[in-house]
Amino acid sequence: MSGSGMLYGGDEIGALVFDPGHHSLRVGYAQDDTPKADIPSVVGVGPADPVMNSDLETKADNNIGSTNKYYVDTTHINVARPSMEIQSYMKDGMIENWDLFEKVIDYVYAKVVQSESMYHPVLFSESAWNVRNNRERLTELMLEKYNVPAFFLVKNAVLAAFANGRATALVVDSGATHTSAVPVHEGYVLSQAVVKSPLGGDYLSLQCRHYLESQNIDLTPTYAIASKDVIKERDTARFTPKELPEKLTASWQQYMLKGLLQDFQMSVVQVLETPYDERTAAQIPAVHYEFPNGYHQDFGPERFKLAESLFDHNMLGAGQLASASVGMCDADVRLSLYGSVVVTGGNSLLPGFAERLNRDLQHRAPSNTRLKMISANGSVERRFGAWIGGSILGSIGTFQQMWISSQEYEESGKSQVERKCP
């Protein structure tokens, strides 16, 4: 801390909380109850157009050799542009493409926060398996390039537990690219018992896509449709295609198709409380869904079958992950972990997800355990669990002495992050 004893927290100086994920980056001020922005974790990279240099998109770099233009956030990415590639800066829960990531951070300060980075301490969430090299690089980036007054890194599972009022919990986080079970004890991750599987929202989207294509349902996304006619159920769609610019890239078209599939997934797919059984599923009312091209039909038992893959996998089902993770912890913490299982992540919003996980765990937990599932009812609390935890942590008085200040960084460098951020 500086000699004047300046505190970073308090009402005058808003700390910023960043929660990067594979689907989106959540950003906002500590003390708020929801993020100010939810920015897709991809960047559109297209050729720079010398005529159209509007202020909104990030300009091309000033280097002579660079001729790319970068598009950040939904309103810029979702526009059909010739030769614009969609690239993600995340890989395996960690930041991989730092140049793209910096473009997004620049955008956040320019358009979301609309303030200089030097005025706001920054709290970042990270995955439980983040590597030292990455942590130090992020610390260096924020304290050197962005000159933030103070910086801190916390595991997102710890934050999700905090958001649900727990310091000890088993955090089952089901996101876009993977589902993980992370045991948290007294605010620390027990890293030897972290278990993760690659079954998440994207895997489910893929299942939906295979299923819809096998039914010969036309998946024309909204951007390609100029107008459509109202038709009877299961009739062939009648729509007028839109004139699109040439040279649309495959990566952009895939990205837009993924948006359609995610909407289908959230509207139709549901998890059965018991393992999938055709008879049980057939008794539940069907759900009606209309595709962007106007085609519409009811979906019955198949909507449960799609979600089953997240649970019935004999190695990677969510119930297996959770019980395997608890099994790898010390015997004396197992009871307290089973006593607070926190469910978080955007993919856990599938209707019935928490109930099914509860049932699977009850079958796997020892008979004497008291199992308690903590799954926030609101979709906001569950989608932004880690962000909300960061918002709480960043605004607590006792946390204020824990920041890595820019002064400490100058004195002892980026290795501080290993010492101060568990």
Question: pLDDT tens-digit profile of 175-225?
Answer: 999 999 999 999 999 999 999 999 999 999 999 999 999 999 999 999 999
Average pLDDT, the chain: 91
Strand 68-71 and strand 42-47: the pairing is antiparallel
Q: How confident is the model at residue 64 (pLDDT cuts 50, 70, 90)?
A: very low
Q: How confident is the model at residue 7 (pLDDT cuts 50, 70, 90)?
A: low
Q: How confident is the model at residue 52 (pLDDT cuts 50, 70, 90)?
A: low
What pLDDT is attached to residue 397? 87
Q: Residues of 316-336 as b/e, b for ≥16 C-beta within 10 angstroms?
A: bbbbbbbbbbbeebeeebbeb
Q: Is 45 strand, coil or helix? A: strand
What pLDDT is attached to residue 53? 47
Q: Residues of 120-145 as b/e, b for ≥16 C-beta within 10 angstroms?
A: bbbbbbbbbebeeebbbebbebbbee
Fold classification of 201-309 is Actin; Chain A, domain 4 (3.90.640)
Q: Choose between 113 and 14: higher pLDDT.
A: 113
What pLDDT is attached to residue 1? 38
Percent of the chain with pLDDT over 90: 87
Write out pLDDT tens, residues 406-419: 999 999 999 999 99
What pLDDT is attached to residue 5? 42
pLDDT of residue 79 exceeding 90: yes
CATH for 16-52+63-164+379-420 is 3.30.420.40
Write out pLDDT tens, residues 377-387: 888 999 999 99
For the chain, the farthest-separated pair of C-alpha atoms sits apart, in whole angstroms, at 74
How remote is the C-alpha of 277 from its chain's centroid?
31
Say what the pTM is. 0.92
What pLDDT is attached to residue 18? 98
φ and ψ at 37, to 5 degrees? -145, 150
pLDDT of residue 313 exceeding 80: no
| Residue ranges per structural domain of the chain | 16-52+63-164+379-420, 201-309
CA angle 387, 390, 392 (to 5 degrees): 115
What pLDDT is attached to residue 12? 52
